[in-house]
Each structure stands twice: as C-alpha cells, then as structure tokens.
Amino acid sequence: MKPRRSFRQMLEEVRVQTAQAAWNRARQASALRHATYATNKTGAARFADLKERAIDRAVAILPEQIRIRIDSDYQIGMLSVRWPGHGLLHLPGDSLPHRSSLGDRRPHERFPDVSFPLPKRPEHRPEKHRG
C-alpha cells in the first residue's frame, strides 16, 4: 500500500508546478520579445512587462529556489534570475524590486542576493504629438 501524501507534500508539489508554469511563461515572453524587438518595439515592451511579471510571480511562489543576482558575467547592469535545473533569464537592473507583489518591503528584504540599492525606473511619459 502506498503511503498517503500529507497536505504539506501536496502543497509543495503545487507550489513547484505553479512556479514552473510562471517560469515557462517568462521564457516564452522572453523569446517573443527578442523576436519582435526589431520590428515592433511597443510589442516588445509588452512582452518584457509580461516577462517581468511572470518572473516576479515565480520568485514570490518559490523564493528559496530561484535566485536573483547582479549579472557580472555577460550582461553588466542586468539582473540574472537563475532557477537551478530550469535555466537563466535576464532583466534590467531596475525591473523587479519596484514591481514585486511581495509588498512594500525594501528590495534587500525581498531579494537578499541583490547587495546594493537599485535605482528607480524612470516613469514613462509619452511625448505629445506636435504638428
């Protein structure tokens, strides 16, 4: 007879599955962003936003496995988001902390691997069309 799974075990399995779904969404958004960037920068920006939100959700669900660090290897000024066994994604250095669904805590409390305060992302103000 199989041993019964506890609620805690089932909950952990669901957490991993949900984080995996968010991670896959981020990978797809990243691929689509790269594919559309040359022809449609507005569409690429939407995919970048989707990627940020998906990564934010995955980190919120499974913070003990997904690591966010400053990438000093290839993409200077970028955040490197790593999930061992699932891959690596890059984000702008100022992207996650201001958007996180983890509350109004300071970035170093949400993301302990980021060792310095990150600059705030400038607000986007569309230019008025003249003429």
pLDDT digits (tens, 9 = 90+) for 91-124: 887 776 544 444 444 444 444 444 444 455 556 5
* Phi, psi dihedrals of residue 102, rounded to the nearest 5°: -85, 10
| pLDDT attached to residue 69 | 84
pTM, two decimal places: 0.67
* Amino acid at residue number 101: S
| pLDDT attached to residue 75 | 60
**Cα gap 47→45, rounded to integer Å:** 5
106 by Cβ neighbours in 10 Å (0-12 / 13-18 / 19+) ranks as exposed
Residues 6 or more apart in contact with residue 48 via CB below 8 angstroms: 29, 33
